[in-house]
Structure 1
Amino acid sequence: MMAKKHIKDGIYLVIDPAMERQMLLGQLRKALTGAVAAVQIWDNILPGEDIKALVEQVIALCRPFGIPVLINNRCQLVYETGLDGVHFDAIPQDFFAENHGNIIVGVTCGNDLATIEQAVVLGADYISFCSMFPSATATSCELVSPEIVIKARELTDMPIFLAGGITPQNMATLSSLPYNGIAVVSGIMKAAEPHEAIKEYQSKLNVK
């Protein structure tokens, strides 16, 4: 595995492997002409899907841009492919008990301050709050209180990403929050022109 990469501030793109393969790759290819901080392959894998093949295709598209690619939950794939890291929906204690210094590790957080504290203690590289707004792709997430995001920044200086139902139209309501970027799925991958959608999101980012 190559040296550990780091996720920059900005747009964290989440892709859905349930999307038709050529459509997914085509939309991703267009999105990468914008400025993407990272790409995560969501754990929404259809039965019989050759996930390793998809992972390698995504990596091949992202590597020339230096964009890190992460998998959602399935950390074993990091060791079997060229993935740069893993994003967990829940913290697995046995994973953090081992040495994973060259892997980017992210954790989904909600309104439970204990999860944030645990991510800090266990050495996660970033946290992502889900869901800031109602979302069709974040149905398992609770709505996050803005106050919990503020408390998280008091606990850690690690990058904070916001996720769930975020659109350019509602981003103004997030302007008072301390965050490093936003995670987006359909707002980019289902856009007619993904790179233009990224530009619109970037124009609203509250990231200095």
Structure 2
Amino acid sequence: MRKYKPITGGVYLVLDPSMDKPLLLQKVREALDGGASVLQIWNNWPTGYTYSDKLLLIQELVDLAAAYQVPVLVNEEWQLLKDTELAGVHFDSIPEDFESIKAAVGRDFICGITCSNNLEVVRWAEERQLDYVSFCAVFPSPSAGNCELVQPDTIREARKITQLPLFLSGGITTENIDKLQELDFNGVAVISGILNAASAQKSTAAYKDALNKYKV
């Protein structure tokens, strides 16, 4: 299997596979050049996409990220780990039988989970020593879907529960990240702020600079 840098924080880029494929690959390459530390393929596949189509895109993304030792995760669809070199999976909620999933995958893999204001999710992640927790959403955002707004106190309490890397997501820009500076977190998860930018490289680098300036 490929070697990846451990997830410790930084810019976590969520990829929208429904984008035009050549454009998506270009944006990913730019974001990696800008310093993205994690990639996640959102399960927003184009209509009519087959399993083989998914495998092909995943392989292209894994190959692209390999030169940077950046892990590529998939959203929810852990079964894809069995047929690809994906580094891991991101769950939107606590899976029903995590032990069975680990057995079915049959190899080590990175695992993270989304949390809103339910600290039981953080406790679950800590008990099973997942690789990170991502909070959604700290600001209103169209791409955050149905995520409820996370209260700052939730993030403060989460840090008392775990020392796992904490990512914040939802409506975060390089302009409003300073509003989060009193919180103890490790990185930000971004979709449109990078994918829709004129230069994904410059946008990613700007997020990195903002993180280095403001995060605790």
TM superposition score category, shorter chain reference: over 0.9
1:65-104 matched pairs, under 5 angstroms = 65-97=68-100, 98=102, 102-104=108-110
Cα separation, 1, equivalents of 2:5 and 2:81? 13
TM-score of the pair, normalised by structure 1: 0.94
Aligned residue for 2:56? Answer: 53
Name the % identity: 41
Cα separation, 1, equivalents of 2:215 and 2:71? 20
In the TM superposition, structure 1's runs of 4+ consecutive aligned residues that sit over 4 Å from their partners are 2-5
Pair 1:184-2:187 in alignment? no
Pair 1:133-2:136 in alignment? no
Give 1:82's aligned amino acid: E
1:83-162 matched pairs, under 5 angstroms = 83-97=86-100, 98=102, 102-162=108-168
Shift of 1:8: 3.2
Cα RMSD of the aligned pairs, angstroms, is 1.6
Cα separation, 2, equivalents of 1:87 and 1:104? 8
Shift of 1:3: 6.0
Which string of whole-angstrom CA distances, capped at 9 and with x for unpartnered residues, describes residues 38-62 of structure 1?
A: 1000011122221111111111110
Which string of whole-angstrom CA distances, capped at 9 and with x for unpartnered residues, describes residues 112-142 of structure 1?
A: 1111111111221110000011111111211
| 8 Å Cα contact 1:12-1:183 kept in structure 2 | yes
Give 1:198's aligned amino acid: T
Cα separation, 1, equivalents of 2:127 and 2:21? 38
Aligned residue for 2:21? Answer: 21
TM-score of the pair, normalised by structure 2: 0.91
Give 2:121's aligned amino acid: T
SS in structure 1 at match of 2:113 = strand
SS in structure 2 at match of 1:93 = coil
Cα separation, 2, equivalents of 1:124 and 1:149? 17
In structure 2, relative to structure 1, the CA distance for the partners of 1:146 and 1:109 (3 Å cut) is same
Cα separation, 1, equivalents of 2:20 and 2:161? 41
More helix by proportion, 1 or 2? 2
Aligned residue pairs, count: 208
SS in structure 1 at match of 2:36 = coil
